[in-house]
Structure 1
Amino acid sequence: MAEFDRGPSDAFAELFGRVPDPPDAQAFWFDWGPVFYRGRLDGSARVLVVASDPGPTERIAGRSLVGDAGQRVQGFLGKLGLTRSYVCLNAWAYAVHPSRAEAMKERLADAAQLQWRNEVFGAAVGAGLEAVVAMGFMAQEAVRLWDGRPQQAVLVKVPHPSSHDPVALLDGWRAAITTLRPVVGPDEDGDNTGPNYGDAFEEADYRPVPRRDLPFGAPVFLGDDAWVRAKGTGLQNSVGRPTPDDGHTLVWKAPG
């Protein structure tokens, strides 16, 4: 039987259904709706990854961290030997316009947003959580505001996978792997003894998003944009938002 994500439990579906609208709809790609998670929601996750907000590939998949950034995150998890024992969430369930990101960071503390987000964070993890990885300033603020964060879990703050500062990104992620390898045990089919990050981000540092993280029927190339990166055009994702109608149009290309 092929593995696939059967979706959230009834309890999580009810919780996700209570997501509050963003505080300023104009600051978000609001009409595309929310995207909530990727990975295990049953409390078995040993690492919680928190990032910023979903992108266009995430909207296609209906799962968090699936595009180029998500494939970098999967590579990060792979270096820890994790193949399944993780859950990926975001500070915002709606995609934020980059020009409004700093302003929306301040709105993470709005009462409705704070209460709902902390409820999601708390429900998604269990007693076996070993680490929380906050990727980027938005995620780090959301985690700072999480008053119920399990104190047994090591907190690591790193640059967002889409950071435009490759030196800071690699230095931060390399140090995080060094810190977490003694803390996070690998899955039975994982290996945490491979190379750490070098001085440049290589294709080997990516991993495809596992089929078990995606809904049934997802095409085989969803979550694996190696073919896009191999073209050498500078593009990294198979899904994009075209201007000027990026609020209502997505362009999704399949491999030729």
Structure 2
Amino acid sequence: MRWDPGPPPSFATLFEQAPLASYQALPAKFRLEWGPIYYRGRLDGSARLLIVGQDPSADENLVRRAMVGTAGQRVQGLLRKLGLDHGYVIVNASLYSIYGQFDAEMAGFMDQAAVRAWRNRLLDQLAQPGLQAVVGFGKAAAKVLDDWPGAAAFKAAQRLFQAQHPTARAPAALLKSWNQTLAALAPLLTPDPGVTPDPSPYPLSGFREQDLARVPAADLPFGMPAWLGQGDMATRLIKGQAKLKTPAANAAILWTAQADQG
């Protein structure tokens, strides 16, 4: 199967029940125009690793899947080192892109009963019998996993990991965190067929080109062009910015969202 077929009925129903009104009540906190982003990866029960990230950005808005930009390609490289090329599922702490960083106001939003209850239902439904471990990236993911009752079993089995966000600004601390997670997590996961794990540590100087991996077509909706899932392809305009930066490629689209229709 080359493309992601979309969510099965049980997940489609759950996604349709998402508390979007809670997000839409805070237009100063979320970029609502681009709509919610629900997942990337396997929803058929075959995932052996569950990843929780923070929120979608420009690339994710274009592709309609979680973690496909720089952060996602760094995570994809980590998945490759763990021996996984498809046996994973990725969701974010927030369905919509956040203005700014995760802060006390955002933590308070995530404590709303409707938001927390739906998020925990999603994680419960993802925690199917074959799931072997859970990883959260960044503070928002840590909040989500701390609030999820289902995390207790993974924590007790030492199969719950918290790592720094893949775009954290201090490379040495970030990669030290990833090396610790990689060393502890790799022995717990069953590799995908034909994929050889490579638990060798990252150099603390920063990510190299070979440390990133492109997002596979099987994670993307039908018909996506071949260049999606590698590099930074989408740029969000800053308010007042006159024009797009000159694209490195030979074509570009300026995509303007209509307010209040996300």
Q: TM-score, normalised by structure 1?
A: 0.88
Match of 1:133?
135
Counterparts of 1:43 and 1:252 in 2: how far apart (Å)? 43
Going from structure 1 to structure 2, the CA distance change for 1:107 and 1:202 (only over 3 Å counts) comes to same
Q: How many Å separate the matches in 1 of 2:101 and 2:187? A: 38
CA deviation after TM superposition for structure 1 residue 252, in Å: 11
Which residue in 1 is equivalent to 2:254? none
Q: Is the 8 A contact 1:131 1:155 kept in 2?
A: yes
Range that drifts further, 190-199 or 117-126: 190-199
Q: Which 5+ residue runs of structure 2 have no aligned equivalent? A: 251-262
Give runs of aligned pairs for residues 16-27 of structure 1, distance below 5 A. Answer: 16-21=15-20, 22=23, 24-27=26-29
2:249 counterpart of 1:255: yes
Aligned length: 242
Aligned partner of 2:218 in structure 1 is 212
- Whole-angstrom distance in 2 between the partners of 1:138 and 1:65: 14
What's 2:191 paired with? 186
What RMSD in Å do the two structures reach over aligned CA positions?
2.1
State the AA in 2 paired with 1:222.
L
**Residues 119 and 252 (structure 1), Cα distance of their counterparts in 2 relative to 1, 3 Å cut:** farther
**Distance in structure 2 (CA, Å) of the matches to 1:185 and 1:111:** 36
Over 3 Å counting, the alpha-carbon distance change for 1:9 and 1:245 in structure 2 is farther
2:50 aligns with one of 45, 48, 65: 48
Task: Indicate if the aligned counterparts of 2:186 and 2:199 stay in contact, CA closer than 8 A.
Answer: no
Deviation at 1:195, TM superposition (A): 3.0
Q: Does 1:115 align with 2:138?
A: no
What's the counterpart of residue 158 of structure 1? 163
Cα distance change of structure 1 residues 156 and 194 upon mapping to structure 2, 3 Å threshold? closer
Percent identical pairs in the alignment equals 38
Distance in structure 1 (CA, Å) of the matches to 2:245 and 2:198: 39
Q: Which moved more, 1:67-76 or 1:184-193?
A: 184-193
Kindly provide the CA deviation profile for residues 86-145 of structure 1, in whole angstroms up to 9, marking residues without a partner as x: 000011111111156442122211100001111111112311111110000000100111
* Cα deviation code 1:159-190 (max 9, x no counterpart): 11111111111000011000011111211121
Structure 2 match to 1:90:
92
Mind listing any 5+ residue stretches in structure 1 that lack a counterpart? 226-236
